[in-house]
Homo-oligomer: A and B are copies of this chain.
Amino acid sequence: MTVNQIDVGTADRILDAAEALAQTRGFNGFSYAHIAEQLGITKASLHYHFASKGQLGEALITRYAERFAGALENIDEVEEDARDKLAAYAALYSGVLDDGRMCLCGMLAAEYETLPKPMANAIVGFFDANHAWLTQVLAQGRADGTLEFHGDPGEGAQVVLGGLEGALLVARPYGDPARFHTAARRLLAAFARAT
């Protein structure tokens, strides 16, 4: 039924709402009541799909990390030049800010100490995956001469990852996406070969 429309299912709609709330208000900043109101169902129904808030949080990170990994694969397919790959990577961050959101795992990293262990581990896994991808891009770019920078590519990856997460973090209270864009552009320019 509803042929021209994807039936996303209630679980996905719950995840969508929870994701938006977690990215704007933090994991400790929203409740089942917020989600229930947005979806027009009761809190009790939410527990049928996600027994506890911790399990909902785990599902949130898993789905986010998978989607992100898919986006990185896509960049590898579409972009050739390492500079373009980095720009596309930064555009992923820019996209979340357009909705007034923080990166999900950046937000959860702040709340790290209050989260259940499975969530905490998943967050580190997300950062590891990003770091590995960035390290490989930086190494490739230096090898083929499109990038130019000193030191270990792994350390450079830390600078890029932290720099973009931090640029999001600081830009959001200003309500000004341009603040992120300028910082991101300057940050990546430090790795690009002078033309």
Mark A residues whose CB is within 8 Å of B: 24-26, 28-29, 100, 102, 106-107, 109-114, 120, 123-124, 127, 149-151, 155-156, 158-159, 161-174, 179, 182-183, 186-187, 189-190
Q: Are B189 and A151 in contact (CB under 8 A)?
A: yes
- On whether A187 and B163 interact (CB within 8 A), knowing A107-B110, A113-B25, the answer reads yes
A124 contacts B163, C-beta separation under 8 Å: no
**How far is the CB of A105 from the nearest CB of chain B, in Å?**
9
Q: Which of B114, B124, B170 contacts A25 (CB 8 A)?
A: B114
Identify whether the interface residues of A are mostly helix, strand, loop, or mixed: helix
Contact of B179 with A109 in the complex, beta carbons under 8 Å: no
Would A158 and B172 count as touching, CB distance under 8 A? no
Give the copy number: 2
CB proximity of A18 to chain B, nearest CB, Å = 15
Can you list 7 A-B contacts (CB < 8 A)? Answer: A28-B28, A29-B113, A110-B169, A124-B174, A158-B167, A158-B182, A169-B169
Q: Is the CB of A183 within 8 A of B170?
A: no
- In the complex, A164→B172 CA distance in Å? 16
Residues of B within 8 A of A162 (CB): 163, 166-167, 169-171, 183, 187
Please provide the 3 A-B residue pairs with the shortest distance between their CB atoms, ordered closest to farther. Answer: A166-B166, A162-B166, A162-B167
Bound-state CA distance A174–B166 (Å) is 16
Q: Judge whether A159 and B183 touch: CB under 8 Å.
A: yes
Q: A24-B113, A159-B163, A165-B166 are in contact. Are A127 and B173 (CB under 8 A)?
A: yes
